[in-house]
Amino acid sequence: MTKHFSPFVSAQSLPSGLNRLVAALTLAAVLLPASAQTLRLPGAARAASLPSAAATGTDSRSGDFIVAVVNSEPITNNEVQARLVRIEQQLSRQGTVPPRNQLAREVLERLILERAQLQLARTLEIRPEEAAVDQAVATVARQNKLSLDELKSQLAADGMDFTRFRADLRDELTLVRLREREVDSRVKISEQDIDQFLRERDAQAQAGPELLNIAQILVAVPETATPEQVSVLQAKAERAVARIRAGEPFATVAAEMSDSPEAAIGGELGPRPAERLPTLFVDAVRSLQAGGLAGPLRSGAGFHVIKLIEKKRGITALSVTQTRARHILLRLSPELREQAAKDKLADFKRRIAAGQADFATLARENSQDGSAKEGGDLGWASPGMFVPEFEQVMNQLAPGQVADPLVSRFGVHLIEVLERREKALTEREEREVVRNQLREKKIDEAFNQWLQEVRGRAYVEFRN
């Protein structure tokens, strides 16, 4: 049986404040001058390459000097200036550039931290395999919509050696692996942690505003309506009330008679704090019990019939948009290159569209994924379950639509969305959401503390 492509991606955190911004830019920008695209690497939020001195116009053979030494390894002025120029370019595109002296200090500190981490990684013999570096390079090219040869040409035009580019990506992958080993893998969230979070959240919600869930039937009255027309419309609203009081479901009457946008869902507005509802509605239901009816009420929009569905304090049930999709996965190998895999899947798509082939049959016969026996069906998936490059394309598809072949870290996919639905989270799913939130928070805290420890153990000598 083939191994199912892993759908899960864990979000990684970075330091806070300006230091976080510098860290994010240091590790996030794919350094091709015109695009500034982002690169997603396995297990990491984002990673990227850094510019060479040539990219900044600085001649490394003249005017360079050591600005700091980290455990006997130097950091040069050219390194700082190259990183500084690139980050300033990125920040200027965002519209905010801190003072250069302040930013330079942050950049130097980031370089010190990176150097200390890479030294620790060497001690622990952490080094990404060349295949992972190749994949990272391919991802940079793909996200910048370039072939490998075009990427090399673009880097050369920007004054950057491709060997140096690969070395920088290798370093960044090394930092990711180091963090996964030293920080992420050690953060655990207990059931007691989740219970405590939920108790605190519920206590805060109980102290918060009351939530009202109201349904309405609106009989719209045009601004130019004559008194006779108003009387007719009022009578329509009163007939709606009479039908409901006679036992007809509110939702049925709303779907038939209401002019409100919510008519198709029974007129229900959903739980909202009172301040987010019209005062007319709040006053009308103030003395009602759940299930109570009020109206017709006159407003500038027309006549309203109001039903109080629920009045409560606390947390509104969480829901997510789930997607059910299927895919065909072709894994890349020396025998099957990326372009050949894309061409094969493009032909599958053409045959499916022409009615000459069935997606499920093609998946069972060709997909190199554990879902093949199910015709490629991945089941219902909540947001964040698939790797970003897969999920981004999937989310853009309408039900019944097949995407063009997509390259991910697992290979090349052909994706079809089957259906979508809104689903309230079960208690177990809600606890899993809380677990992930707490884990991200703890990882962030643990990473900051670990960085301080790494920095504290390093011998750092500042020069001019």
Cβ(14)–Cβ(27) below 8 Å: yes
If 0-12 CB within 10 Å is exposed, 13-18 middle and 19+ buried, where does residue 190 land? exposed
Output the six-digit token pair for 401.
């639509």
Band of residue 43 on the pLDDT scale cut at 50, 70, 90:
very low
Q: Give residue 178's pLDDT.
A: 93
Quote the radius of gyration of the chain (alpha carbons, Å).
29
Q: At 315, is the pLDDT very low, low, confident or very high (cuts 50, 70, 90)?
A: low
Residue 215's closest CA among 147, 290, 158? 290
DSSP 71-109: TTEEEEHHHHHHHHHHHHHHHHHHT----HHHHHHHHHH
pLDDT of residue 313: 66
Cβ atoms < 10 Å from Cβ of 390 = 26
Pairing of strands 293-298, 411-424: unpaired
Tokens of 358: 């069935």
In 95-161, alpha helices (H): 100-123, 130-143, 148-157
Give 121's pLDDT tier (boundaries 50, 70, 90).
Answer: very high
| Mean pLDDT rounded to a whole number for the chain | 81
How many Cβ atoms are within 10 Å of 140's Cβ, its own excluded?
26
How would residue 316 be classed by pLDDT, with cut points 50, 70 and 90?
Answer: low
- Rounded to an integer, what distance in angstroms lies between the CA atom of residue 454 and that of residue 113? 8
| Measured torsion, CA atoms of residues 364, 368, 372, 377, in degrees rounded to the nearest 10 | -120
In this prediction, residue 86 carries a pLDDT of: 81
Cβ(308)–Cβ(289) below 8 Å: yes
d(C-alpha 387, C-alpha 385), whole Å: 7
Instruction: Express each pLDDT in 326-348 by its tens digit.
Output: 999 999 888 898 889 999 999 99
* Tens of pLDDT, residues 402-426: 999 988 888 899 999 999 887 777 8
**What average pLDDT score do residues 349-368 get?**
94
